[in-house]
Chain A
Amino acid sequence: MLRTRGWIEAWLLLVPGFVFLIAFTHVPALVTIWNSFFTTPRGRRPARWAGLENYETLLSDPTFWKVLKNNALYAAGTIPLSIGIALVMALWVNRQLAGRGLVRMAYFTPTVLPMIAVANIWMFFYTPGFGLIDQIGAALGLGQTNILGSADTALWGVMVVTIWKEAGFFMIFYLAALQTIPPSLVEAARIEGAGGWTIFRRITLPLLMPTTLFVSINAVVNSFRMVDHIFILTGGGPDNASSLLLFYIYEVAFRFWDTAYGATLTVVLLAFLMILAIGQFVLFDRRVHYR
């Protein structure tokens, strides 16, 4: 009797959280999967069962393959670079340094800014003719550029902005992790004759592995999730050259109002994210030492 009451009480306490989680996360996710098997309802024509039709359309959709390729390139370019830069910056601001607090703050500033603001700042750099890059280029006698306007370079331009924004955020995690490594470990390694590079490779880096796992999962999720700056910088163009999967989903669902196909694309995106996250855990598991 008493146990039943405790049980009921526990559930009552869990309910408020569950209601929001179910209403705004789990139900929409399930509805999305359900919708992906129907046609898009239009006007007086209601949605009808379509089976795998939407998925067949997806496989033969050249834009889908293009944004998928873009996204793969975007992830492969931004993840290692932003993590690498974050680590270097963290190591740098972790030492005794005049004005250390100022440098830390400067590195962290991009994280605080909204992505839309970041994109606008970078517009001042990229704008052909009178942007910062072209002004410096002109001073050096170089010609005018149009990085965001040409299909070959637009995606790279977007990637640079992402790295700039993400590195400072990841740096904070590395910095926190670095400060939990006892200095006596480094001292012991120095006594044993290890140089700076050996200490980094054999002591610091392995002890940072839990952080690296955490940061890299975040980076992977972000590479599929962060598209705000594309709206400002390129709008996905030219000719989808800088469009990513989520940006394409937005366009399909809310610009072309093909909600069923949007749901189908979303299911694919969620499947990708799940596979990648699980894959990372498996890949890192043996190499991560948790304290």
Chain B
Amino acid sequence: MEYEEESNSLEMKESSLDITHEGAARPPSGTNSALLKSYTYATSLPTALEKDQECILGVDEAGRGPVLGPMVYGICYCPLAKKDELADLGFADSKTLKEDERDNLLEVIMSRPDLIGWSVRVLSPMDISNSMLRKEKYNLNALAHDTTIQLIRETLASGVNLREVYVDTVGPPETYQAKLERIFPSITKIVVAKKADSKYPIVSAASICAKVTRDDVLRHWVFAESGIEENVSREFGSGYPSDPKTVKWLKKNMDPIFGYPNIVRFSWGTCKTLLETSGKPVRWEDDDEGPKQPRINAMLSQSNESDLAQQKRQYSTFTTKSAPRPRPQLMQDMSLKNVVEF
């Protein structure tokens, strides 16, 4: 549906698009189960890769900005000697491509298992929120760096001899490059650049792997929360907070008490604002500033009974009129009352 505006030409084209959507093989890097924990998918080594043959590797990310769905890091590598062959396959920045063109390019990548190896790490929205919201904040850049480092490490560990690494970055490239050079002294050339996906075909290929995987996971999102599959719309839009479709989804699918399902990154400002304005307020007693107000019943004895008698009463299953069983502490603390007699 999102393509209607763009494909203003032929109906034929539109229907063929639909076929590509429903009929196209899903990338192997997607998942069929609920995405709670982040995972890595990696292809096997290119079949034509000789032992210790020098390789180049590109790193790119997809889904950093969106408030919905996973963030995916992709790497793609091939022998240094076959660099030109890769360029001939025609990669460009994944963001400038339409979805079907990207799907096709992933198929191109997958059609050359002799030449290209790739892997993706899919970071679940829950992991992203948890990282960003935990007490010692772990920001998105640190998460990006660590994920990239992990993917490169795993590639090296699988026996690929990396000579050159090209990384697309959002933050300042210089410090990031220095950091990677320090961690991977064996790699001769490390290039961290902004918009690396439009400059280096290998980064572009990595961006395709990442983007196609993200789109697939989002499109086939499996809700971990039971019973919401039917009630929650799948009209996510692009997932970017600037997309009116996404904003509409966020507004429509919020539970005033439970908030959002795990597809949403709770750490995003958009989400926080919506929860604060439209959700039910929560009062955390421990957050109240100033001196603590103790309970009166903590300072006055419950009654004059001995501890033993109290215990007996507490554990007795028989309640009598004269000595009612004490209410559970939680009920007392929250000032909850029985509304129904059992």
Is the A/B pair a real complex?
A: no
